[in-house]
Structure 1
Amino acid sequence: MVKEKEIPLKIEVFSNGEDSDYLIHSKTEIQNILQAICGRSTRAALYYDEGNRFVLTMLIAVSEEGIWVDPPSSQLDSLHILESKKVVFVSSHNHAKVQFVATAPSQATYGKHDAIFLPLPLKLLRLQRRDYYRLATGAIRPLKCVIKPVPDQEHIKHEMTIMDISVGGISLVCQETGIELTPGNIYPNCEIELPEIGTLTATIQVKNTFEVTTRTGKVNRRAGCVFVKPDGKTTMLLQRYVAQMQRQAAALTPKE
């Protein structure tokens, strides 16, 4: 069984509009994400009292109307949650943090189990930071990043191999010939073709360079880059690609 890397179950706080690239509004997609969390018995946190207090819980069931979660063992905590005008649910899905605000929590039962019912949210935050998960690309058919170093001369292109990719950025193989990637340099309109997903266009900034020694003793130079203010489409394509690769990896992993 594939186990997810532990993600801190803390509320993500954004300034106005900063979270727009990470919000999911599709009811079907929201329901699918919550069902996946439920099916994997992924732990979750339920915050109340304006986010100052929380209890750990787990999803019991998901429907088109909402979700059922385990009530806390403390009756006092349960009372405070049920009296809250809103609560914040935080969990994880495919190495990404999941968070949403629920209003009007209510006491309920599911089957023979006591539960707290939360209405299905109209929007859900799915945030995948670079330090949560980096996906190594295949050695046989690795992803390529096409960089156009001269803004006014788009016919000048350099194709570089991507070693790993995430929603936050990429790691590139520095070649002996071609463009020299220097920390601080910014390259707009870079293109990355994601198989079965689409081609994204983004601005990257080189953050650092480092050397990696292979088993044969060969020293390769790499460059760590971040995506600069990726738009909603870019973020969506990256999330879909990473999620697709994770599903494929999970399918190939022997069950325990």
Structure 2
Amino acid sequence: MSDLKIPPMAPDASPAVDADFRLDAPGEIMNWLRELLRSQARIQLTTPDGAAIHTVLRSLDTPQGMLTMEAPQARDTLPPILSSDELVATAFLDKIKLQFDVSGLVAIRGEGEVLRAPVPLRIYRFQRRQAYRVASAGQLYPALKLNGADLPRIRVVNVSAGGVALQWPANVVPAPRALEELSGTLELEREVSFSTLLRVQHLTEGEDGAPHHVGCAFVSLAPTAARALQVFIDQAQKRERLMRRTV
């Protein structure tokens, strides 16, 4: 089904970043932990038995490979966490869910009680992609080239893991109707494209010759196409976070 075209991965790129949601490169792991520290995002620690506490990162000791978290005020909630052989940390950054195993957690008492544990060897990053839409940054890409020699190339207004929004020219008739299926090549960037089948979810007609707004859902995606879409959305989110930092 797919005629995916993806440029070769850069030699220094980590395949773990883009595949299987797993990050095991130490630099990438520390970058995400620094994001948790900077944002003070809430972290939930849970055991297989359902015991849970909420905490935040207090500090990162990079040379020693240790992280320090805040201890809960309700001290009676801590013993099941410290005694558990399996402990999972879960946190959210924007539209991204981070999850990692915590081993060797101990409580340290000083001026105040804190929790310390080794930096995880891997982090799992799950994209909450259905809620995140990548808006079009230009007129050429992304776009949908409809199948058929006489059919036009339609501008894509935004892209998500669930589908796309199209800017359908009023002079391209007939306009698609709800539940109609459209087949074509989705061109995310100049060198990234794949075949796709879309189902129209809704159409908002434009006034006075303005383009129609057509919302479509992916009917199916080949594994290589789904991966290319994941990478495209991930890169867009990274650029957005970088821009927010520099403002």
Normalising by structure 1, we get a TM-score of 0.70
Q: Provide the C-alpha distance between the structure 1 equivalents of 2:207 and 2:66, rounded to a whole number of angstroms.
A: 52
What is the aligned-residue RMSD (CA, Å)? Answer: 3.5
Provide the residue aligned with 1:30 in structure 2: 29
Residue 193 (structure 1) aligned to one of 186, 189, 204: 189
Q: Which runs of 5+ in 2 are unaligned?
A: 1-17
AA in 1 matched with 2:216: G
* Aligned counterpart, 1:41: 40
Task: Report Cα offsets for 1:167-195 as digits up to 9, x if no partner.
Answer: 4443222334389767474747533118x
The one-character-per-residue Cα deviations of 1:25-78 (angstroms, maximum 9, x if unpaired) are 222112111111210111221112x06122121111224414221112222321
Structure (1 or 2) with the larger CA radius of gyration:
2
Q: Does structure 2 retain, via aligned residues, the 8 Å contact 1:25–1:124?
A: yes
SS in 2 for 1:45: strand
Query: Is the alpha carbon distance of 1:61 and 1:167 closer, same or farther for their aligned partners in structure 2, counting shifts above 3 Å?
Result: farther
CA distance in 2, matches of 1:66, 1:142: 47
Separation in structure 1 between the aligned mates of residue 91 and residue 198 of structure 2, nearest angstrom: 31
Render the CA deviation track for 1:88-110: whole Å, top value 9, x for unaligned.
Answer: 1111123211111222222236x
Does 1:210 find its partner at 2:202? yes
Consecutive unaligned residues in structure 1, runs of 5 or more: 1-18
**Which amino acid is 1:206 matched to?**
L
Q: Secondary structure at the match of 2:87?
A: strand
Amino acid at match of 1:137: S
> Residue 94 of structure 1 corresponds to which residue in structure 2?
94
Q: Give the equivalent residue in structure 2 for 1:15.
A: none
Equivalent residue runs for 1:117-196 within 5 Å: 117-138=116-137, 141=139, 143-147=141-145, 149=147, 158-175=152-169, 176-177=171-172, 183=179, 185=181, 187=183, 190-193=186-189
TM-score by length of 2: 0.72
Amino acid of the residue matched to residue 89 of structure 2? F
Cα distance in 1 for partners of 2:164, 2:214 equals: 10
Q: 1:149 to 1:141 in 2, by over 3 A?
A: closer
In 2, the alpha carbon distance for the partners of 1:118 and 1:184 equals 54
1:60 and 1:69 in contact (8 A); partners too: yes
| Whole-Å separation in 2 of the counterparts to 1:32 and 1:97 | 15
Identity over the aligned pairs, expressed in percent?
16
